[in-house]
């Protein structure tokens, strides 16, 4: 009867040890990494279509709340638009020269509202947020920052051929034309005298956050427009 020593002799153990070492090497080897499919990033498109730098005009008054008379309830076909509704229907957002103020406020001097127009779109499948963080007036061809530019009143161009208030949400699969009113920059920082600001070429830089991504847009070159002058 063979003893335990003869059964597990070195000659018999060598193939077993070799097999065990091979198995361990195969197990401890680096496993190939599985490639995770990458989702294509949403393509965002934002450009400045135009800039008009003229004046900062007073905003039209908000529409007054109207309570229908108890004796004569207003009929749907007889309801007249409020002055604020009429003002919002102006495509350019500025009052015509020599126009009267809505609501019987009398004659108003001509005023051309400064503004910037943007073209926005994306290829996402849901509405995405858009926000302007800052605007800067820079010197064309030089790039030096001259002054900050206030902005307000986001609106969008609609199928009714007019600008309407915009919640700064951009629907999918649609190109949107947005507009913001511009305030007056500090002209004292731009030139020594106000007259020196006319005839100069400027570029507007706009810092935006589009669907969580920060980017800076630059406008085509433009000049400051002179205000209307009425000769009496």
pTM of the model: 0.66
Q: What's the pLDDT tens digit per position in 71-103? A: 555 555 444 444 434 444 443 444 444 445 555
Contact yes or no for 204/116 (Cβ under 8 A):
yes
pLDDT value at position 194? 77
How buried is 210 (Cβ within 10 angstroms: 0-12 exposed, 13-18 middle, 19+ buried)?
Answer: buried
Task: Indicate the CATH number for domain 46-57+81-218.
Answer: 2.60.40
Percent of the chain with pLDDT over 70: 63
Whole-number Cα distances in Å, 232 to 106, 169, 229: 18, 47, 10
Q: What's the pLDDT tens digit per position in 124-159? A: 999 999 999 999 999 999 889 999 999 999 999 999
Domain residues of the chain, as ranges?
46-57+81-218
pLDDT value at position 58? 92
Residue 44 three-state SS: strand
> Which tokens sit at 13?
């153990």
Provide the pLDDT confidence category of residue 4 given band limits of 50, 70 and 90.
Answer: very low
Contact yes or no for 120/46 (Cβ under 8 A):
yes
For residues 150-164, one letter each, b for 16 or more C-beta atoms within 10 angstroms of the residue's C-beta and e for the rest, the string is ebeebbbbeeeeebe
């Amino acid at each position: 009867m063979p003893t335990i020593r003869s059964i597990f002799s070195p000659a018999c153990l060598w193939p077993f040890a070799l097999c065990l070492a091979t198995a361990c090497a195969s197990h401890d080897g680096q496993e190939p990494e599985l490639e995770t499919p990458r989702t294509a990033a949403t393509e965002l498109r934002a450009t400045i279509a135009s800039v008009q730098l003229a004046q900062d005009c007073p905003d039209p008054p908000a529409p007054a709340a109207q309570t229908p008379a108890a004796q004569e309830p207003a009929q749907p076909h007889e309801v007249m638009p409020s002055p604020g509704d009429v003002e919002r229907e102006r495509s350019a957002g500025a009052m015509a020269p020599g126009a009267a103020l809505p609501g019987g406020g009398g004659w108003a001097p001509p005023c051309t509202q400064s503004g910037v127009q943007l073209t926005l779109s994306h290829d996402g499948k849901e509405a995405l947020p858009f926000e302007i963080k800052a605007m800067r007036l820079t010197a064309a061809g030089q790039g030096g920052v001259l002054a900050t530019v206030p902005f307000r009143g986001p609106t969008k161009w609609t199928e009714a051929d007019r600008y309407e208030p915009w919640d700064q949400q951009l629907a999918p699969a649609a190109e949107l034309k947005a507009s913001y009113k511009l305030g007056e920059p500090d002209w004292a920082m731009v030139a020594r005298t106000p007259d020196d600001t006319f005839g100069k070429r400027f570029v507007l830089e706009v810092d935006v956050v589009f669907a969580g991504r920060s980017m800076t847009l630059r406008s085509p070159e433009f000049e400051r427009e002179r205000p209307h002058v009425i000769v009496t």
